[in-house]
Structure 1
């Protein structure tokens, strides 16, 4: 029995079921295709007052980036041009309404680099950026991704059938990021289950951080504890434990929560189009554009928020200081002003940058690692599972969710 075989599959499914209680607060039960509503909204104006879910027709209160903030006015942006303008103006549209205090503030992903701006954000991002650049992807692949992928496939290879969304796609990123921290497999799901309770995660990480300060290894915690930052006055110092925990919490949330959904979206899109899947199997160079097209066509997190630091007239709408601006990047990614036949999943379309990983100075730090996980994962399935296909006798996968979109179960047959 490999160490991955000890994963609690039932618990894994409960933590990674969009319709379950764990993700209900982000609109996991939303099963309507939101794109027709977003098209109508974009056609009537690039900016609308209200939140994305309210404007889409969801009346329940949801939580996500920039929500709920009931005391602030909310505006949502749906066109490529308006979303691009918002991302390009971080001085007016800030990533956080509050200053960040890593050493004295409450521990959590929002009190982190994610919420920093300007020079402070550039200094902290520069510390870990080298571990996430494209040519560093091989470090991730060799150390953690490849081994995890093949051990997972080993677990169902002899069965002739599998459920790939949770048992495969969801397991890869959570095991990759926790392994890069030196967290043993048996604690990986404890980490995921404690995303909303950062103190519990810190207690798991605390002895690892202490050990890496004494004896660094070739892992991500070692990178963090050895990093030095230069303050505004020119003073250089190593990151404090609080700063290391802040980075770790952010990377855990980003690294274990989004990639599994995007991998499932990509895999479902291919399995639902057997001719496209066959083309990718035959010419593996098509896998990269297949992934990029899924990122454009259905990004797993369709919205992120910014906060207006002053009054501004923005694309025909006056936005007062203190308002929340919701950037509906998924709508922008299907703007016909930028893409022809934008609703089609077409892996041979001309490649253009999309907003799947955001934009501006806060563009996703781990996007190249995410791409590597998806590429290695799907590539290994095509290599090892002959005649991979959806199980015709099982419930077929559907795309669901409001602020965290993904596929339902992906039951497959092979061999």
Structure 2
């Protein structure tokens, strides 16, 4: 039995990362239809519509996600790539938060640089950006990703079959980010379970931050405690515990909640197309475009939101100050004005940036780490599991969920 399996409760992993479970139910985890034909119709009718994405798609139940529910604000949704791209790039009109961040307030995901704007956001992002650039990917792979991937594969490599979505994909990002924080392996799932209770997470993280202030190590918390940020007047200061805690909560939420679903989507797309999987196995240079194409074709979070700061005319629609604009990434990423045959999953598609990782100044900070996790994880599966294929006797994977989309179980056989 591998060290990872000794402490990683598989049943608990399945509970915490179940798309239909309580963690994502409020974001439409039980939605099983294909929303893309409806989004295509909406995009063809107009680039921007009044209403939320789920209401316009025909989902009557109230859903919670970024920018939702906000019942006292008017809501609009953008479906065309040009409209979504402009909203991401114009941070003055389309703010990432309805109110200013209070750095003296309680630590929270929404009280972090995710919700900052303008110069303040640039200053705080610059602190940690060096740890997330492509050149730093090897640091993540060497210290945390590679070891985790191979320990997980060790647990089933001699069994001839496995379930790859939850038992493999889900575990990699949460173990990577908690490892980068110096959180012991046996506490990793405690952190995931407490994701909606920040104070419970901070009871685990707080002592680590205090210890790193005294004795820094080669990890992400040490980067944060040693970083300096300049105030608006140029005065430098070290990050406070509250600032570090809020940033850590943001990374935990983003790092352990999205990459696993996108890795599962990529694996399912390849396994459903054996000829494409064979091509990727033979030519590993195709693995990166296979991942990029999956993020365009089926992004795990197909919508994010912005708050309108002043009355504005936007692609033929009058948006009042205080409204919420929902950016339908899923629809934008299949806009035929930007891609030919956009509904097809094509690993040979000429490279062109999509909105899968957002855009503008708030483009996903951890996108290169996410790519490193997917490249390392899928590459290791292809290296170590000969003749990897979907289990012909099991139900094949399907894509479900609304604001958090992912694959159902991915049962495979090999050897």
TM-score, shorter chain, exceeding 0.5: yes
Structure 2 equivalent of residue 67 of structure 1:
68
Describe the superposition over 1:288-319 as per-residue Cα deviations: whole angstroms up to 9, x where unpaired.
Answer: 11001001101100000000000001000000
What pairs with 1:385-404 in structure 2 (closer than 5 Å)? Answer: 385-404=385-404
1:360 matches 2:360: yes
Measure how far apart 1:396 and its partner are: 0.8
Q: Distance in 2 between matches of 1:32 and 1:13?
A: 22
Q: Which SS does the other structure have where 1:325 is aligned? A: strand
1:236 matches 2:236: yes
Q: What is the CA RMSD across the aligned residues, in angstroms?
A: 0.6
Q: Which SS does the other structure have where 1:157 is aligned? A: coil
Structure 2 equivalent of residue 166 of structure 1:
166
Structure 1 equivalent of residue 301 of structure 2:
301
Contact 1:262 1:295 in 2 (8 A): yes
Measure how far apart 1:283 and its partner are: 0.4
Structure 2 equivalent of residue 78 of structure 1:
79
Measure how far apart 1:395 and its partner are: 1.1
Q: Which SS does the other structure have where 1:304 is aligned? A: strand
Contact 1:26 1:404 in 2 (8 A): yes
Structure 2 equivalent of residue 38 of structure 1:
39
1:217 matches 2:217: yes
Structure 2 equivalent of residue 89 of structure 1:
90
Q: Distance in 2 between matches of 1:301 and 1:23?
A: 12
Measure how far apart 1:121 and its partner are: 0.2
Measure how far apart 1:287 and its partner are: 0.3
What pairs with 1:67-146 in structure 2 (closer than 5 Å)? Answer: 67-103=68-104, 105-146=105-146
Describe the superposition over 1:158-215 as per-residue Cα deviations: whole angstroms up to 9, x where unpaired.
Answer: 1100000000000000000000000011110110111110011011001100110000
Q: Distance in 1 between matches of 2:74 and 2:302?
A: 20
Q: Distance in 1 between matches of 2:2 and 2:120?
A: 43
Q: Distance in 1 between matches of 2:100 and 2:162?
A: 46
1:373 matches 2:370: no
Q: Distance in 1 between matches of 2:3 and 2:253?
A: 23
Measure how far apart 1:233 and its partner are: 1.3
Contact 1:113 1:124 in 2 (8 A): yes
Describe the superposition over 1:87-140 as per-residue Cα deviations: whole angstroms up to 9, x where unpaired.
Answer: 11110000000110122x232101110000000000000000000000000000
Q: Distance in 1 between matches of 2:244 and 2:333?
A: 34
Structure 2 equivalent of residue 277 of structure 1:
277
Task: List 4+ stretches of structure 1 deviating above 4 A.
Answer: none
Measure how far apart 1:154 and its partner are: 0.2
Contact 2:173 2:259 in 1 (8 A): yes
What pairs with 1:167-182 in structure 2 (closer than 5 Å)? Answer: 167-182=167-182
Contact 1:228 1:237 in 2 (8 A): yes
Measure how far apart 1:248 and its partner are: 0.4
Q: Which SS does the other structure have where 2:111 is aligned? A: coil
Measure how far apart 1:2 and its partner are: 3.6
Structure 2 equivalent of residue 207 of structure 1:
207
Q: Which SS does the other structure have where 1:12 is aligned? A: helix
Structure 1 equivalent of residue 49 of structure 2:
48
Q: Which SS does the other structure have where 1:22 is aligned? A: helix
Describe the superposition over 1:71-99 as per-residue Cα deviations: whole angstroms up to 9, x where unpaired.
Answer: 00000000011111111111000000011
Name the count of aligned residue pairs.
414
Contact 2:106 2:242 in 1 (8 A): no
Q: Distance in 2 between matches of 1:33 and 1:223?
A: 42
Q: Distance in 2 between matches of 1:234 and 1:271?
A: 53
Q: Distance in 2 between matches of 1:175 and 1:329?
A: 28
Flag structure 1 segments of 5+ consecutive residues without an equivalent. none
Q: Distance in 2 between matches of 1:206 and 1:80?
A: 42
Q: Distance in 1 between matches of 2:163 and 2:187?
A: 23
Q: Distance in 1 between matches of 2:145 and 2:276?
A: 25
Stretch deviating more after TM superposition (373-382 or 81-90): 81-90
Q: Which SS does the other structure have where 2:110 is aligned? A: coil
Q: Distance in 2 between matches of 1:244 and 1:408?
A: 35
Q: Distance in 2 between matches of 1:170 and 1:333?
A: 24
Q: Distance in 1 between matches of 2:161 and 2:18?
A: 20
Measure how far apart 1:349 and its partner are: 0.9
Contact 1:3 1:185 in 2 (8 A): no
Flag structure 2 segments of 5+ consecutive residues without an equivalent. none
